[in-house]
Amino acid sequence: MAWDYLGVYIYLDSGRVILFPSLQASRYRDAEAKCQIICPDLLNFYDTLIEANLPDEQLEPQLIRKENEVLGLLSTSARNAHLPERLGRPAVKILYYRAGAQKPMKEEILRAG
């Protein structure tokens, strides 16, 4: 499969992180996920927060904070795993998205070496 970046999608409401290798030139991601991580702790966090029935102005910052925490853990893990070397590439571009977002939360390029 041809790809030039990895799209990482964080879905707190289902406790999942899904990875889609994609082509930058394409407006659409590959319909088939290449990796899906199911995180019961994320789902529990989301469910507990929703059950608290908080007003949106209190709910939204907590969701964003958790998404940023997950993004940080994923980014650190990709760097620590030497992702470009593992994939046999000189560099890997990663775009991190929150559920339903058109624009990434973060974009990074990891370089081999």
The domain spans of the chain are 5-111
Task: Report the mean per-residue pLDDT for the chain.
Answer: 90
pLDDT category at 94 given cuts 50, 70, 90 is very high
Q: Is the pLDDT of residue 33 over 90?
A: no
The pLDDT value recorded for residue 34 is 82
CA dist list (Å): 43 to 30, 38, 52, 63, 107 = 25, 9, 14, 12, 25
φ/ψ of residue 90, rounded to 5: -70, -25
Q: Please give the pLDDT value at position 32.
A: 67
Q: Between 28 and 53, whose confidence is greater?
A: 53
